[in-house]
Structure 1
Amino acid sequence: MTIKEFFSFKNNKYFWLNIVAMVVVVVMLGFGVMKWLDVYTRHGEGVVVPDVKGMSVSEAEMMFRNHGLTCIVSDSNYVKNKPAGIILDLKPAAGQKVKEGRMVYLTINTLDTPLRVVPDVADNSSLRQAQAKLMAAGFKLAENQLVSGEKDWVYGVKYMGRELHIGDKAPIGATLTLMVGDGSADSAFGDSIDAVVDEVVDGAAEGSATDESWF
């Protein structure tokens, strides 16, 4: 085969038609694959995450379902003065654009109120000191229960009628009752002093009368 014969296919129009057809097929195939990938991955499409903060989980599930999304509770925190079980936060955040079917992770206010150790104020604190310590720890106070003892001295703490001991816990925000002295101990002490004084005075009076009679 001569060189001229080898390059003779260049003059064959069918050869060039086949080349053009192959190029067209490759381009169309590539374009088709790209379109299929766009449809499969929903490229350019998205759903805006709704704001469900403050809702219950059941309410949020319904809203997410209407938007083509799903959700799951992934964490919990405790926020005082907010109802238990409401949604505090979500990821992705509200307003973000995500693909349909995306899972949204929720953080809710804990259903169980956390427990906290009740400060030890029994028999070592005045009424004012005990009130300050307990309120600073997140507890509420009911009307004091008066017991026999030194006035305004704390002798114990009760929760739901049960006297607490060192290390006992109560729910944060629970209402506690302080057992406070009614001052009866001070009165008894004062009465005893008065009795001693009376005895001394009576004894001195009797001695004076005896002395006078003797003279």
Structure 2
Amino acid sequence: MRISEFFGKFKSCMLWGNLVAMIVTILLLAVGVKIGLDRYTHHGESIAIPKLLHKDIAEAEDVANRLQLKIETVDTGYVKHLPPGCVLEQSPAPGERVKSGHAIYVTINATQSPTIKLPDIIDNSSLREAMAKLTAMGFNLTPPQFVAGEKDWVYGVLMNGKQVVYGDRVPIDAKLTVQAGNGMRDLNDDVNYIDPEYTSEDDNSASGEFGDFDDFEEVGEVPAEPAGEVNKEKKQAAKSHSDPVSKPHSPKKTTRKPETTNE
């Protein structure tokens, strides 16, 4: 093939027509794909997330539906002063912009207060330790109730006036009262006194310390004194107590007058 014939084929209308058709087809496919992706991904669209906090879940779903958004509940919590079923948390946060059909994940308030297992504190801890443990778990405590028993030792727990034991499920907002000892014994308590039991070894040890009782000599009776001598001694003792104490006589002083002479 000559060079002139080769370049002459580029002047064919059929060749250029096919090239133009291919280019147009590629362009149309690119534009179609772009339009389809934009429609599918909602490109260029944005919706501000509304504030749903503390709203009832039904009201929150109604607001989301009007904005072409969805509500999905992922968790529950409990706040005593808020009504049950209201929204406690939401994600994304209010004000963020998302596309239509986006889901808003919320945490709602439980309809009932959660329950917690009562720890093993009855007859197993002091009053101070029990109060600290229950407070850390979030229980609402009232002043302790003192009963007869060992001082500050936990003997029971009351929930709204009813007795509860270890392992019971107790609502977190229930009022608990710890019963502790006041250091005094109840008069109705029975006290059993048990006599000590002595064994043969104890008897042998006692005899070893004090010796054999047969070795001690018998002491005779002390002879009584005659009655006359006893009465005589009593009279002498009484006389010595009754006589007054004699005082020594001081010598009498005499004064001598001077002699006078008559002249």
- TM value normalised by structure 2: 0.54
For 1:13 and 1:120, how far apart are their aligned partners in 2?
A: 97
Deviation at 1:80, TM superposition (A): 6.2
Could you give the per-residue CA deviations for residues 90-131 of structure 1, whole angstroms, max 9, x where no partner exists? 333433322211222222233342222334554566666654
Deviation at 1:73, TM superposition (A): 0.9
**Aligned 8 A contact 1:115 1:171 in 2:** yes
Partner of 2:111: 111
Q: Note if 1:176 corresponds to 2:153.
A: no
Residues 160, 24 of structure 1: alpha-carbon distance in 2 compared, 3 angstrom cutoff? same
For 1:168 and 1:55, how far apart are their aligned partners in 2?
A: 34
Residues 58, 7 of structure 1: alpha-carbon distance in 2 compared, 3 angstrom cutoff? same
Q: Note if 1:23 corresponds to 2:23.
A: yes
Partner of 1:8: 8
Amino acid at match of 2:168: D
**Richer in helix (by share):** 1
Residues 13, 187 of structure 1: alpha-carbon distance in 2 compared, 3 angstrom cutoff? closer
Partner of 1:203: none
Q: Alignment RMSD, CA only?
A: 3.8
Partner of 1:166: 166
Residues 64, 4 of structure 1: alpha-carbon distance in 2 compared, 3 angstrom cutoff? same
Amino acid at match of 1:100: S
For 1:136 and 1:22, how far apart are their aligned partners in 2?
A: 76
Residues 14, 161 of structure 1: alpha-carbon distance in 2 compared, 3 angstrom cutoff? same
Deviation at 1:54, TM superposition (A): 2.4
- TM value normalised by structure 1: 0.64
Equivalent pairs counted in the alignment come to 188
Deviation at 1:29, TM superposition (A): 4.3
SS at match of 2:43: coil
Partner of 1:58: 58
Q: Note if 1:137 corresponds to 2:160.
A: no
Deviation at 1:177, TM superposition (A): 3.1
Higher alpha-carbon deviation: 68-77 or 137-146:
137-146
Could you give the per-residue CA deviations for residues 43-96 of structure 1, whole angstroms, max 9, x where no partner exists? 121222223222221121111112110112122244565544332333334333
Residues 183, 25 of structure 1: alpha-carbon distance in 2 compared, 3 angstrom cutoff? closer
For 2:149 and 2:59, how far apart are their aligned partners in 1?
A: 55
Instruction: Between the two structures, name the one with larger relative contact order (CA 8 Å, sep ≥ 6).
Output: 1
Deviation at 1:158, TM superposition (A): 1.6
Amino acid at match of 2:31: F
Partner of 2:48: 48
Deviation at 1:163, TM superposition (A): 1.0
Match runs of 1:62-141 below 5 Å? 62-78=62-78, 82-122=82-122, 130-141=130-141
For structure 1, the 5+ residue unaligned runs are 189-215
Equivalent pairs: percent with the same residue? 44
For structure 2, the 5+ residue unaligned runs are 189-263
